[in-house]
A and B are shown apart, each in its own frame.
Chain A
Amino acid sequence: MKKQTKIEIWVGAFVLMSLMALAYLAFQVSNFSGWKDRPTYEVSALFDNIGGLKERAPLKLSGVVIGRITAIEIDPISFKARVHMKIDQAFNQLPVDSSVSILTSGLLGDQYVGLEPGGDEEVLQQGSEIEMTQSAMVLEELIGQFLVKFSESD
Protein backbone atom coordinates (compact mmCIF):
# COMPACT_ATOMS: atom_id res chain seq x y z
CA MET A 1 0.00 0.00 0.00
CA LYS A 2 1.25 3.48 -0.81
CA LYS A 3 2.36 5.52 2.16
CA GLN A 4 0.04 8.43 1.37
CA THR A 5 -2.96 6.07 1.21
CA LYS A 6 -2.07 4.66 4.60
CA ILE A 7 -1.91 8.15 6.09
CA GLU A 8 -5.24 9.05 4.55
CA ILE A 9 -6.90 5.93 5.97
CA TRP A 10 -5.53 6.62 9.45
CA VAL A 11 -6.62 10.26 9.36
CA GLY A 12 -10.05 9.18 8.15
CA ALA A 13 -10.36 6.71 11.04
CA PHE A 14 -9.21 9.41 13.47
CA VAL A 15 -11.78 11.94 12.26
CA LEU A 16 -14.52 9.29 12.30
CA MET A 17 -13.58 8.37 15.85
CA SER A 18 -13.78 11.97 17.04
CA LEU A 19 -17.13 12.46 15.32
CA MET A 20 -18.41 9.38 17.11
CA ALA A 21 -17.10 10.83 20.36
CA LEU A 22 -18.96 14.08 19.63
CA ALA A 23 -22.19 12.20 18.91
CA TYR A 24 -21.75 10.20 22.11
CA LEU A 25 -21.20 13.39 24.13
CA ALA A 26 -24.18 15.07 22.47
CA PHE A 27 -26.79 12.34 22.74
CA GLN A 28 -25.74 10.19 25.67
CA VAL A 29 -23.97 12.62 28.00
CA SER A 30 -25.69 15.97 27.41
CA ASN A 31 -29.24 17.12 26.75
CA PHE A 32 -28.77 17.85 23.05
CA SER A 33 -31.91 15.95 22.01
CA GLY A 34 -33.88 17.91 24.63
CA TRP A 35 -36.12 20.85 23.85
CA LYS A 36 -34.34 22.43 20.93
CA ASP A 37 -36.50 21.30 18.04
CA ARG A 38 -39.85 20.59 19.64
CA PRO A 39 -42.46 23.35 19.27
CA THR A 40 -43.23 25.05 22.57
CA TYR A 41 -45.51 27.74 23.94
CA GLU A 42 -44.67 30.21 26.64
CA VAL A 43 -46.66 31.03 29.78
CA SER A 44 -45.75 33.11 32.81
CA ALA A 45 -46.61 33.24 36.51
CA LEU A 46 -46.11 35.72 39.36
CA PHE A 47 -44.46 34.46 42.54
CA ASP A 48 -44.02 36.25 45.87
CA ASN A 49 -40.68 34.56 46.37
CA ILE A 50 -38.86 32.24 44.03
CA GLY A 51 -36.25 31.12 46.58
CA GLY A 52 -33.32 29.61 44.70
CA LEU A 53 -35.07 28.95 41.38
CA LYS A 54 -32.75 29.32 38.41
CA GLU A 55 -33.26 29.77 34.69
CA ARG A 56 -33.35 26.47 32.78
CA ALA A 57 -34.85 24.72 35.81
CA PRO A 58 -37.41 22.08 34.79
CA LEU A 59 -41.19 22.45 34.88
CA LYS A 60 -42.73 19.17 36.01
CA LEU A 61 -46.21 17.72 35.82
CA SER A 62 -46.63 14.73 38.15
CA GLY A 63 -42.86 14.47 38.21
CA VAL A 64 -42.50 14.37 34.41
CA VAL A 65 -40.54 17.20 32.80
CA ILE A 66 -42.84 19.06 30.41
CA GLY A 67 -40.99 22.35 30.05
CA ARG A 68 -38.25 24.69 31.24
CA ILE A 69 -37.93 28.07 32.93
CA THR A 70 -36.73 30.53 30.30
CA ALA A 71 -36.50 33.83 32.18
CA ILE A 72 -37.01 35.30 35.64
CA GLU A 73 -37.63 39.01 36.10
CA ILE A 74 -39.28 41.48 38.46
CA ASP A 75 -42.75 42.62 37.46
CA PRO A 76 -42.53 46.46 37.46
CA ILE A 77 -46.10 46.97 38.76
CA SER A 78 -46.55 44.39 41.50
CA PHE A 79 -42.84 44.04 42.39
CA LYS A 80 -43.24 40.28 42.34
CA ALA A 81 -41.05 37.84 40.49
CA ARG A 82 -42.37 36.97 37.04
CA VAL A 83 -41.24 33.53 35.88
CA HIS A 84 -41.51 32.74 32.17
CA MET A 85 -41.64 29.10 31.18
CA LYS A 86 -41.74 27.18 27.94
CA ILE A 87 -44.03 24.17 27.77
CA ASP A 88 -43.73 21.46 25.15
CA GLN A 89 -46.51 21.75 22.56
CA ALA A 90 -47.36 18.08 23.20
CA PHE A 91 -48.88 19.21 26.52
CA ASN A 92 -51.26 21.85 25.17
CA GLN A 93 -54.35 20.57 27.00
CA LEU A 94 -53.46 22.00 30.43
CA PRO A 95 -56.46 23.73 32.07
CA VAL A 96 -56.17 27.50 32.47
CA ASP A 97 -56.80 27.31 36.24
CA SER A 98 -53.77 25.07 36.84
CA SER A 99 -51.54 26.08 39.72
CA VAL A 100 -47.75 26.15 39.93
CA SER A 101 -45.56 25.89 43.00
CA ILE A 102 -41.82 25.99 43.54
CA LEU A 103 -40.60 22.68 44.93
CA THR A 104 -37.27 21.16 45.78
CA SER A 105 -36.10 17.81 44.49
CA GLY A 106 -34.83 15.96 47.52
CA LEU A 107 -33.57 17.57 50.67
CA LEU A 108 -30.59 19.32 49.10
CA GLY A 109 -31.59 19.20 45.43
CA ASP A 110 -32.25 21.92 42.91
CA GLN A 111 -35.52 23.79 42.86
CA TYR A 112 -38.06 23.23 40.11
CA VAL A 113 -41.59 24.32 39.28
CA GLY A 114 -44.33 21.78 39.81
CA LEU A 115 -47.60 22.17 37.89
CA GLU A 116 -50.88 20.95 39.35
CA PRO A 117 -53.65 20.79 36.71
CA GLY A 118 -57.02 22.41 37.49
CA GLY A 119 -60.45 21.57 36.12
CA ASP A 120 -61.31 24.40 33.73
CA GLU A 121 -62.45 23.75 30.16
CA GLU A 122 -60.19 26.45 28.74
CA VAL A 123 -56.56 25.55 28.18
CA LEU A 124 -53.28 27.41 28.61
CA GLN A 125 -52.01 29.10 25.46
CA GLN A 126 -49.05 31.13 24.27
CA GLY A 127 -48.78 34.16 26.57
CA SER A 128 -51.34 33.12 29.19
CA GLU A 129 -50.66 33.73 32.84
CA ILE A 130 -51.00 31.14 35.58
CA GLU A 131 -52.74 32.90 38.45
CA MET A 132 -52.52 30.41 41.27
CA THR A 133 -48.96 30.19 42.49
CA GLN A 134 -47.25 29.01 45.62
CA SER A 135 -43.88 30.44 46.55
CA ALA A 136 -40.76 28.59 47.48
CA MET A 137 -40.36 27.44 51.05
CA VAL A 138 -37.67 29.62 52.56
CA LEU A 139 -36.12 27.87 55.52
CA GLU A 140 -35.47 31.10 57.47
CA GLU A 141 -39.14 32.15 57.20
CA LEU A 142 -40.28 28.71 58.34
CA ILE A 143 -38.00 28.87 61.35
CA GLY A 144 -39.24 32.41 62.05
CA GLN A 145 -42.89 31.30 61.99
CA PHE A 146 -42.06 28.35 64.18
CA LEU A 147 -40.35 30.59 66.72
CA VAL A 148 -43.32 32.99 66.77
CA LYS A 149 -45.76 30.10 67.34
CA PHE A 150 -43.46 28.67 69.94
CA SER A 151 -43.23 31.89 71.93
CA GLU A 152 -47.00 32.52 71.65
CA SER A 153 -47.81 29.14 73.16
CA ASP A 154 -45.69 29.86 76.19
Chain B
Amino acid sequence: MSGFQRFLQNMGQGFLEKVAAFGRGSLFIWSILAAIPSALFRFDLLLKQIYVTGVLSLPIILMAGLFVGMVLSLQGYNILVEFNAEEAVGSMTALSLLRELGPVVGGLLFAGRAGSALTAEIGLMRSTEQISALEMMAVDPLKFIYAPRFLAVIIVLPLLVLIFNALGVFGGYLVSVSWLGVDSGAFWSQMSSQVDWQEDVLNGVIKSVAFGVLIAVIALFQGVNAIPSSEGVSNATTRTVVHASLGILGLDFILTSIMFN
Protein backbone atom coordinates (compact mmCIF):
# COMPACT_ATOMS: atom_id res chain seq x y z
CA MET B 1 0.00 0.00 0.00
CA SER B 2 2.84 2.38 0.82
CA GLY B 3 4.18 1.92 -2.70
CA PHE B 4 0.85 3.05 -4.11
CA GLN B 5 0.76 5.96 -1.69
CA ARG B 6 4.24 7.02 -2.77
CA PHE B 7 3.17 6.80 -6.41
CA LEU B 8 0.18 9.01 -5.71
CA GLN B 9 2.33 11.44 -3.77
CA ASN B 10 4.87 11.68 -6.58
CA MET B 11 2.15 12.24 -9.10
CA GLY B 12 0.49 14.94 -7.01
CA GLN B 13 3.81 16.62 -6.37
CA GLY B 14 4.70 16.64 -10.06
CA PHE B 15 1.31 18.03 -10.99
CA LEU B 16 1.47 20.78 -8.38
CA GLU B 17 4.97 21.73 -9.55
CA LYS B 18 3.76 21.97 -13.15
CA VAL B 19 0.80 24.13 -12.11
CA ALA B 20 3.05 26.36 -10.05
CA ALA B 21 5.52 26.73 -12.93
CA PHE B 22 2.67 27.57 -15.26
CA GLY B 23 1.41 30.20 -12.82
CA ARG B 24 4.88 31.70 -12.41
CA GLY B 25 5.26 31.79 -16.18
CA SER B 26 1.93 33.54 -16.67
CA LEU B 27 2.71 36.11 -13.99
CA PHE B 28 6.11 36.66 -15.56
CA ILE B 29 4.62 37.22 -19.04
CA TRP B 30 2.05 39.55 -17.57
CA SER B 31 4.66 41.65 -15.76
CA ILE B 32 6.81 41.86 -18.91
CA LEU B 33 3.80 43.01 -20.92
CA ALA B 34 3.17 45.68 -18.30
CA ALA B 35 6.80 46.82 -18.57
CA ILE B 36 6.81 47.13 -22.38
CA PRO B 37 5.61 50.78 -22.56
CA SER B 38 8.51 51.94 -20.42
CA ALA B 39 10.90 49.86 -22.54
CA LEU B 40 9.82 51.95 -25.51
CA PHE B 41 11.12 55.05 -23.75
CA ARG B 42 14.59 53.49 -23.42
CA PHE B 43 15.05 53.29 -27.16
CA ASP B 44 18.83 52.84 -26.89
CA LEU B 45 18.38 49.61 -24.91
CA LEU B 46 15.93 48.27 -27.47
CA LEU B 47 18.29 49.15 -30.34
CA LYS B 48 21.15 47.37 -28.60
CA GLN B 49 19.01 44.22 -28.25
CA ILE B 50 17.84 44.41 -31.87
CA TYR B 51 21.51 44.60 -32.84
CA VAL B 52 22.50 41.66 -30.64
CA THR B 53 19.60 39.36 -31.55
CA GLY B 54 18.88 40.51 -35.10
CA VAL B 55 21.92 41.90 -36.86
CA LEU B 56 24.24 39.28 -35.38
CA SER B 57 21.82 36.51 -36.53
CA LEU B 58 21.89 37.80 -40.10
CA PRO B 59 24.80 35.65 -41.41
CA ILE B 60 23.20 32.36 -40.39
CA ILE B 61 19.78 33.45 -41.70
CA LEU B 62 21.21 34.63 -45.02
CA MET B 63 23.18 31.43 -45.60
CA ALA B 64 20.32 29.18 -44.52
CA GLY B 65 17.75 31.02 -46.66
CA LEU B 66 19.89 30.81 -49.77
CA PHE B 67 20.66 27.13 -49.36
CA VAL B 68 17.13 26.09 -48.37
CA GLY B 69 15.76 27.83 -51.47
CA MET B 70 18.41 26.24 -53.68
CA VAL B 71 17.82 22.73 -52.36
CA LEU B 72 14.03 23.08 -52.56
CA SER B 73 14.08 24.09 -56.20
CA LEU B 74 16.66 21.45 -57.09
CA GLN B 75 14.52 18.70 -55.56
CA GLY B 76 11.32 20.20 -56.98
CA TYR B 77 12.86 20.40 -60.45
CA ASN B 78 13.92 16.75 -60.41
CA ILE B 79 10.35 15.65 -59.75
CA LEU B 80 8.46 18.24 -61.81
CA VAL B 81 10.60 17.69 -64.90
CA GLU B 82 9.10 14.20 -65.18
CA PHE B 83 5.67 15.77 -65.68
CA ASN B 84 7.00 18.44 -68.05
CA ALA B 85 5.97 21.01 -65.45
CA GLU B 86 9.37 22.35 -64.48
CA GLU B 87 8.10 25.95 -64.74
CA ALA B 88 6.06 25.28 -61.60
CA VAL B 89 9.26 24.98 -59.59
CA GLY B 90 9.15 28.72 -58.90
CA SER B 91 5.70 28.72 -57.37
CA MET B 92 6.47 25.52 -55.46
CA THR B 93 9.62 27.01 -53.95
CA ALA B 94 7.96 30.31 -53.12
CA LEU B 95 4.85 28.74 -51.58
CA SER B 96 6.72 26.28 -49.40
CA LEU B 97 9.13 29.00 -48.25
CA LEU B 98 6.50 31.64 -47.52
CA ARG B 99 3.97 29.37 -45.87
CA GLU B 100 6.10 26.96 -43.86
CA LEU B 101 9.84 26.79 -44.25
CA GLY B 102 10.60 30.48 -43.85
CA PRO B 103 8.89 30.98 -40.48
CA VAL B 104 9.70 27.49 -39.16
CA VAL B 105 13.34 27.11 -40.20
CA GLY B 106 13.97 30.78 -39.49
CA GLY B 107 12.40 30.36 -36.05
CA LEU B 108 14.38 27.20 -35.27
CA LEU B 109 17.66 28.82 -36.28
CA PHE B 110 16.78 31.94 -34.34
CA ALA B 111 15.90 29.92 -31.23
CA GLY B 112 19.28 28.22 -31.44
CA ARG B 113 21.24 31.35 -32.23
CA ALA B 114 19.57 34.09 -30.17
CA GLY B 115 17.20 32.31 -27.75
CA SER B 116 19.95 30.24 -26.17
CA ALA B 117 22.17 33.32 -25.85
CA LEU B 118 19.36 35.20 -24.11
CA THR B 119 18.82 32.42 -21.58
CA ALA B 120 22.53 32.07 -20.86
CA GLU B 121 22.95 35.82 -20.47
CA ILE B 122 20.06 36.23 -18.06
CA GLY B 123 20.93 33.03 -16.17
CA LEU B 124 24.49 34.27 -15.67
CA MET B 125 23.25 37.73 -14.69
CA ARG B 126 21.20 36.08 -11.98
CA SER B 127 23.91 33.70 -10.82
CA THR B 128 26.41 36.55 -10.53
CA GLU B 129 23.71 38.57 -8.74
CA GLN B 130 23.74 41.42 -11.23
CA ILE B 131 19.95 41.46 -11.18
CA SER B 132 19.88 41.78 -7.40
CA ALA B 133 22.41 44.60 -7.71
CA LEU B 134 20.11 46.39 -10.13
CA GLU B 135 17.20 45.94 -7.71
CA MET B 136 19.36 47.35 -4.91
CA MET B 137 19.91 50.47 -7.02
CA ALA B 138 16.13 50.71 -7.50
CA VAL B 139 16.43 49.88 -11.21
CA ASP B 140 13.57 47.63 -12.24
CA PRO B 141 15.11 44.65 -14.06
CA LEU B 142 11.77 44.10 -15.81
CA LYS B 143 12.04 47.46 -17.55
CA PHE B 144 15.81 47.49 -17.91
CA ILE B 145 16.64 43.86 -18.81
CA TYR B 146 13.60 41.75 -19.71
CA ALA B 147 11.19 44.01 -21.59
CA PRO B 148 13.74 45.34 -24.15
CA ARG B 149 14.85 41.77 -24.92
CA PHE B 150 11.26 40.53 -25.19
CA LEU B 151 10.31 43.34 -27.55
CA ALA B 152 13.50 43.00 -29.62
CA VAL B 153 12.92 39.29 -30.28
CA ILE B 154 9.34 39.90 -31.40
CA ILE B 155 10.39 42.73 -33.73
CA VAL B 156 13.44 40.96 -35.11
CA LEU B 157 12.11 37.52 -36.01
CA PRO B 158 9.56 38.66 -38.67
CA LEU B 159 12.22 40.85 -40.27
CA LEU B 160 14.69 37.97 -40.36
CA VAL B 161 12.03 35.65 -41.82
CA LEU B 162 11.26 38.18 -44.58
CA ILE B 163 14.95 38.28 -45.51
CA PHE B 164 15.12 34.47 -45.31
CA ASN B 165 12.15 34.16 -47.70
CA ALA B 166 13.48 36.68 -50.18
CA LEU B 167 16.88 35.00 -50.29
CA GLY B 168 15.29 31.57 -50.55
CA VAL B 169 13.31 32.65 -53.61
CA PHE B 170 16.46 34.16 -55.05
CA GLY B 171 18.32 30.89 -54.41
CA GLY B 172 15.55 29.01 -56.18
CA TYR B 173 15.87 31.41 -59.12
CA LEU B 174 19.63 30.87 -59.25
CA VAL B 175 19.34 27.09 -59.35
CA SER B 176 16.35 26.67 -61.62
CA VAL B 177 16.84 29.53 -64.10
CA SER B 178 20.58 30.14 -64.17
CA TRP B 179 21.69 26.57 -63.69
CA LEU B 180 18.94 24.19 -64.84
CA GLY B 181 17.60 26.39 -67.62
CA VAL B 182 13.95 26.90 -66.64
CA ASP B 183 12.44 29.79 -68.61
CA SER B 184 12.71 32.88 -66.43
CA GLY B 185 9.44 34.45 -67.66
CA ALA B 186 7.46 31.31 -66.87
CA PHE B 187 9.25 31.01 -63.53
CA TRP B 188 8.17 34.47 -62.34
CA SER B 189 4.72 34.57 -63.91
CA GLN B 190 3.72 31.15 -62.49
CA MET B 191 5.02 32.28 -59.12
CA SER B 192 3.15 35.56 -58.99
CA SER B 193 -0.08 33.99 -60.22
CA GLN B 194 0.07 31.28 -57.54
CA VAL B 195 1.35 33.26 -54.57
CA ASP B 196 -1.18 35.47 -52.88
CA TRP B 197 -0.02 38.56 -51.04
CA GLN B 198 -2.43 38.23 -48.15
CA GLU B 199 -2.86 34.48 -47.94
CA ASP B 200 0.81 33.53 -48.23
CA VAL B 201 3.09 36.49 -47.52
CA LEU B 202 1.15 38.08 -44.66
CA ASN B 203 0.19 34.78 -43.04
CA GLY B 204 3.87 33.85 -43.00
CA VAL B 205 4.65 37.13 -41.26
CA ILE B 206 1.89 36.50 -38.69
CA LYS B 207 3.35 33.05 -38.06
CA SER B 208 6.80 34.47 -37.48
CA VAL B 209 5.42 37.04 -35.00
CA ALA B 210 3.77 34.19 -33.07
CA PHE B 211 7.02 32.22 -33.07
CA GLY B 212 8.85 35.34 -31.89
CA VAL B 213 6.53 35.64 -28.88
CA LEU B 214 7.02 31.93 -28.13
CA ILE B 215 10.83 32.10 -28.32
CA ALA B 216 10.98 35.30 -26.25
CA VAL B 217 8.75 33.91 -23.49
CA ILE B 218 10.60 30.59 -23.27
CA ALA B 219 14.09 32.08 -23.42
CA LEU B 220 13.43 34.75 -20.79
CA PHE B 221 11.52 32.45 -18.48
CA GLN B 222 14.20 29.76 -18.58
CA GLY B 223 16.87 32.39 -17.93
CA VAL B 224 15.01 33.78 -14.93
CA ASN B 225 14.23 30.32 -13.54
CA ALA B 226 17.71 28.87 -14.08
CA ILE B 227 19.40 27.41 -11.03
CA PRO B 228 22.23 29.88 -10.38
CA SER B 229 25.14 27.55 -11.03
CA SER B 230 27.14 26.74 -14.13
CA GLU B 231 25.28 23.46 -14.51
CA GLY B 232 21.91 25.11 -13.96
CA VAL B 233 22.56 27.76 -16.63
CA SER B 234 23.71 25.14 -19.12
CA ASN B 235 20.59 23.05 -18.46
CA ALA B 236 18.37 26.10 -18.85
CA THR B 237 20.01 26.94 -22.18
CA THR B 238 19.44 23.40 -23.43
CA ARG B 239 15.82 23.54 -22.29
CA THR B 240 15.29 26.84 -24.12
CA VAL B 241 16.42 25.38 -27.43
CA VAL B 242 14.47 22.13 -27.00
CA HIS B 243 11.25 23.70 -25.74
CA ALA B 244 11.33 26.55 -28.25
CA SER B 245 11.98 24.19 -31.18
CA LEU B 246 9.21 21.78 -30.19
CA GLY B 247 6.92 24.70 -29.44
CA ILE B 248 7.54 26.21 -32.87
CA LEU B 249 6.76 22.93 -34.63
CA GLY B 250 3.58 22.36 -32.61
CA LEU B 251 2.36 25.94 -32.91
CA ASP B 252 3.09 25.83 -36.63
CA PHE B 253 0.71 22.92 -37.06
CA ILE B 254 -2.02 24.75 -35.16
CA LEU B 255 -1.52 28.00 -37.08
CA THR B 256 -1.40 26.18 -40.43
CA SER B 257 -4.64 24.36 -39.70
CA ILE B 258 -6.29 27.70 -38.83
CA MET B 259 -4.85 29.73 -41.72
CA PHE B 260 -4.86 27.34 -44.66
CA ASN B 261 -7.98 25.32 -44.08
Where the two chains meet, the residues of A that have a C-beta atom closer than 8 Å to any C-beta of B are 4, 7-8, 10-11, 13-15, 17-18, 20-22, 24-26, 28-32, 34, 56, 58, 108
Contacts and interface: CB of A to CB of B under 8 A. Distances in A.
Interface string B186-204: 0010011101110011000
A18 B192 contact: no
A56 B192 CA distance: 14
Contacts of A8: 47
Could you tell me the dominant secondary structure of chain A's interface residues? helix
Contacts of A108: 83
B162 A25 contact: yes
Contacts of B83: 108
Contacts of A34: 197
Nearest to A56: B196
Nearest to A17: B163
Contacts of A32: 197, 201
B201 A30 contact: yes
A25 B163 CA distance: 9
B83 to A, nearest CB: 8
A10 B158 CA distance: 17
Contacts of A10: 51, 55
Contact of A29 (B55, B160, B201): B201
B165 interface: yes
A31 B166 contact: no
A30 B200 CA distance: 8
A29 B192 CA distance: 5
Interface in B134-186: 158-160, 162-163, 165-167, 169
A15 B159 contact: yes
Contacts of B158: 18
A30 B47 contact: no
Given A18-B163, A21-B167, A30-B192, 19 more contacts: A7-B51, A8-B47, A10-B51, A11-B50, A11-B55, A13-B55, A14-B50, A14-B55, A18-B158, A20-B166, A25-B98, A25-B165, A25-B166, A26-B197, A29-B94, A29-B169, A30-B196, A32-B197, A34-B197
A58 B191 CA distance: 15
